[in-house]
Structure 1
């Protein structure tokens, strides 16, 4: 199975920039790059911060952008979104409780899209109602299951970012711990950093995002840090017993050098390009 994860696309009014970059242009570049290099992808999942200010026009524009995409596209919402406004444009994405959650069939198991949005906060929330929904779905599904969410479910060790992580992390952890043999991987966004780790024995990962980039500034405790590192998306490969996640920095403008054979016999001090 091959999945493409895009995150933190932060659509704005066309022409407006974030960190000197135009989010609409970068999202279209990301989709074009991802689908042209990976036409065999089974699905695209966008893990939140679809809009920068939760504006209806951004969601309408996103709907238009995705209209011609042949690959299934699944959406999560993040802290920059607005659930009510999002669902006014994408009403089919609501679960039975009014959250933006869904069960999606994948070639290798099942994907669960989780809603970690909460009002008037950049932090994430996963209340008892959502925890109950997740617990029920995990109990019903045979596995493997892949979870997709916006907020990081564990601290990353950067103080200002940890203040806006998933606030109901202990309850979330208890739910996934009950079913950790079924859950193959957790994919999230939010931090604008390439991250990997584990929660209750379940691996998780996050790519940087399709527009502005963060920086792991461990020494600053009050301000989030940005950088001009390349925009990115993730390519997820599974084969039944393993998961591989690549972060593709499609915003990189430098040269790609095909300079070495993988065959040991071809490695020669005189002829190798180093």
Structure 2
């Protein structure tokens, strides 16, 4: 089974840019690239920061765009979003307690989409009510289960990022640890970075967003760091006994070379320079 993972699409007012990039055009380019190369995907997950400012018009345009995608799409909201406005445009996402938490079934297992949004903050929150929902979903499921969320559930050790991480991360990891025999993988966004690791004994992965990229600038302790690295999306291959996740840099516009190309023999074996 194949899953597509897009994150941090940051739709904004047409004609405006973010970090000098057109986030609307880049989202559409990411979708087009993913569908061209992976038309057999069962699900496209978009894990938050759907809108850059939480504007209703962004959600309305997103709804129109999603309706044209031939693959089922499931959404999370992130810190740049606005939950009440999102639910005005996507009322079917209103879950228990008014949170944007949904369940999607695939041939590889159940996918749970979590709501880590908090009002007027970039920090992630997963309160007792949301924790109870997740605990109940995992207890009732035979597995396997895949979790999708916006905020990072583990520290990155990049200080500015960890200031706005999931603040209930320890409680979240405890829930995951209790059900680690069922939870196969956790996908998240928010960091605009490729990140791998584990939470509660379960593998986690993140990736760059479809527009602007971050950078793991460990010496910087106060300000978030951006870069000109290519935007990307993820593709996950899921089987009974493994999960493989790739970050696809669809925004790369440089040359690609192949090891078995006709001119490969002319490369210098010591320096890999002609």
TM tier, smaller: over 0.9
- Residue number in structure 1 paired with 2:201: 201
Contact 1:4/1:43 (<8 A) preserved: yes
Relative to the length of structure 2, the TM-score reads 0.95
Instruction: Work out the CA distance in 2 between the residues paired with 1:184 and 1:133.
Output: 18
Deviation at 1:206? Answer: 0.4
- Residue number in structure 2 paired with 1:148: 148
Instruction: Work out the CA distance in 2 between the residues paired with 1:214 and 1:73.
Output: 25
Relative to the length of structure 1, the TM-score reads 0.95
- Residue number in structure 2 paired with 1:235: 235
- Residue number in structure 1 paired with 2:24: 24
Q: What do residues 78-127 of structure 1 show as CA deviations (whole Å, max 9, x unaligned)?
A: 00000000000000011121100011101101000000000010000000
Contact 1:76/1:149 (<8 A) preserved: yes
What aligned pairs does 1:1-274 form with structure 2 within 5 A after superposition?
1-260=1-260
Instruction: Work out the CA distance in 1 between the residues paired with 2:195 and 2:104.
Output: 24
Runs of 4+ in 1 over 4 A off after TM superposition: 268-274
Q: What do residues 139-169 of structure 1 show as CA deviations (whole Å, max 9, x unaligned)?
A: 0011110000000011100111101000011
Structure 1: runs of 5+ lacking an equivalent: 262-267
Deviation at 1:223? Answer: 0.4
Q: What do residues 198-241 of structure 1 show as CA deviations (whole Å, max 9, x unaligned)?
A: 01110000010100000111001110000000000000001111
User: 1:97 aligns to what SS in structure 2?
Assistant: helix
Contact 1:193/1:215 (<8 A) preserved: yes
Structure 2: runs of 5+ lacking an equivalent: none
Deviation at 1:194? Answer: 0.5
Contact 1:230/1:250 (<8 A) preserved: yes
